[in-house]
A and B are shown apart, each in its own frame.
Chain A
Amino acid sequence: MRILPKHTQRAAIAALGGATLLTLSLLVFIIVFVLEKGLPVLSLRFLFTNPQDMGRAGGIFPTLVGSVVLPLLAVAIATPLGVGTAVYLTEYTRESRLTRVIRFGTDCLAGIPSIIFGLFGFIFFVTTLRMGWSIISGGLTLAFMILPTIIRTTEEAVRAVPRAYREVSYSLGATRWQTVRRVILPNALPGIVTGVMLGVGRSIGETAAVIFTAGSSLRLPSSVFDSTRTMAVHFYILAREGISTENAYGTAAALVIAVLSVNLIAYWLMNRVMARRS
């Protein structure tokens, strides 16, 4: 008996649709689960008081500070490098062996697992350069990690600036750098900010690269040479060592909200860029 195409079509839609539904519900479940368990614990008091007894009681204030300071430092280091690289690739040179090598290197860097970044940061910044477990070691390691993201998004944003703007600027006697500074970078800004926000999001959620470079001190840091603990690391330690499930949920909720809102801003900006382009 021959099965009618109409029927295979219906079966295929059911199977594919079912798979899609399963995928989406799995992903949504994760967020809902964390928020449902964590939001009752989460409060301003929880965010802004110091932990007691290794986090068994009290809040997460020092880790909140860590999760703000480390990503900011990482972005402060990676943004000039990433934007500079992207501008060089798009405005200062033509496609060549050199640009291909640089792009290949960027792709490779993007693919390195975070535990390798952690190993590297530990042996290079912490040990060889004697920076110790510190905010500066962690920030530099994270900067290496998010550099490819910033390069790629900036490159896309710079390429999206209309060619006519460049022509006009050059025809009015502007130099290359003047054109970049006055016309290209201002117009590419939303795209650049998108890349930076994605980098911040990734830094906030990162654990493996941070725990071996910034350490896990629960004390409030007083300089960049102090060790710090981020929310992600704190959450990991609470959960893994079974210190407090309740506080782990609360920290997880704070972590997820922070990462999702940062990424949401990034996508919102990217959509604005796309909308303006068309």
Chain B
Amino acid sequence: MKLFGEKGVERLLTGIAFSAISALLLIALFIFSEGLPFIMRYGLRGFLFSSEWQPQAGQFGIFPMIVATLWVTLGAIAIGAPLGVAGAVFLTEFMPRPVMRAVKPTIELLAGIPSVVYGFIGVMVLAPLIRSTFGGPGLSLLAASIILGVMILPTVISISIDAIMAVPQSYREGSLALGATTWQTVRMVTVPAARSGIIASIILAMGRAVGETMAVIMVAGNAVKLPGSALDSVRTLTANIALEMGYATGTHRQALFATGVVLFVVVMALNSIAGLAIRQKAGRR
């Protein structure tokens, strides 16, 4: 039974404790070692700011994908953040606690719906709707923004609720005792006090939107060009990787890994900022 002994177990657990950080480093190492040499060779400026993506011709400019990712993400935030924060405020401040406690896990449960399912609904329901209402191909920047906006709702709502719940009850009572209405209290006291948590929820949602792949591939149309309007077909960074990875070889494949490097850096930056916002809040309390 004494397979390891007390010291052995401790050593084993110490080793295991490094599994997550080793996984992270391993991932970074392999993505960067495949992608960085290509960026060095091709030139960072040409890679990031050229609009020509023609793998057969050896041209690898991802500027359209960067712009598309930016617009799709901003669109998603413009739709998801107000809805999500409004939902969080309504559920915590205007609904009885038991209702909130029942609705919150339901919403979190919905976060588990696979992204391919969201994408499929976008194709079957949303794209035809956009096509018949506004014209254009339907599969578009707008469609991708709406689908992503809905997908990030659970993240925004869940973390915002946690942030608002963490505001001490005495703040609210202080405001209400001065004759403020519930809405005035929410606007002047509760939401400002929960600000950093709410912002963190939105930044985390941005990270999710930037990194989302399958739903976007299905609804965005995937044309490599700078979008002229919200109804244009666009291709994001993630879609670019997933679409061409299946058959890419040689330099082409390295260019896709280089796209992964850009994605990795952007998402890490967003998550670090969100983490900082959350930690700052925790430190202040």
Contact = CB atoms under 8 A, between A and B. Distances in A.
Instruction: Classify A-B as touching or not with yes or no (CB < 8 A).
Output: yes
Interface of A: 5-6, 8-9, 12-13, 15-17, 19-20, 22-24, 26-27, 30-31, 33-34, 80-82, 84-85, 87-89, 92, 101-102, 104-109, 111-120, 122-124, 128, 144, 147-148, 151, 175-177, 198, 201-202, 204-208, 211-212, 232, 235-236, 239-240, 245, 248, 252, 255-256, 259-260, 262-264, 267, 271
A211 to B, nearest CB: 8
A252 B117 contact: yes
Given A19-B83, A123-B30, A111 B241 contact: no
Nearest to A33: B121
B113 A232 contact: no
A255 B16 contact: no
Contacts of B110: 27, 30-31
A211 B214 CA distance: 11
B120 A248 contact: yes
Interface of B: 6, 9-10, 12-14, 16-21, 23-27, 30-31, 34, 82-84, 86-87, 89-91, 94, 103, 105, 107-110, 112-121, 123-125, 150, 153-154, 157, 180-184, 186-187, 204, 207, 210-214, 217-218, 238, 241-242, 245-246, 256-257, 260, 263-264, 267-268, 270-272, 275
A252 B127 CA distance: 19
Given A16-B87, A84-B13, A262-B112, 19 more contacts: A5-B181, A23-B83, A23-B84, A26-B150, A27-B107, A27-B150, A105-B21, A106-B20, A108-B271, A111-B204, A112-B27, A112-B264, A113-B211, A119-B241, A147-B23, A177-B9, A212-B245, A236-B116, A255-B117
Given A88-B13, A112-B267, A119-B241, A19 B87 contact: yes
A147 B246 CA distance: 26
B86 A19 contact: yes
22 contacts: A5-B183, A13-B90, A16-B94, A19-B83, A19-B86, A31-B110, A33-B125, A80-B16, A81-B20, A109-B23, A111-B268, A113-B210, A114-B211, A119-B241, A123-B31, A124-B26, A177-B6, A177-B10, A206-B114, A207-B116, A212-B245, A264-B109
A105 B204 CA distance: 16
A205 B83 CA distance: 25
B257 A123 contact: yes
B245 to A, nearest CB: 6
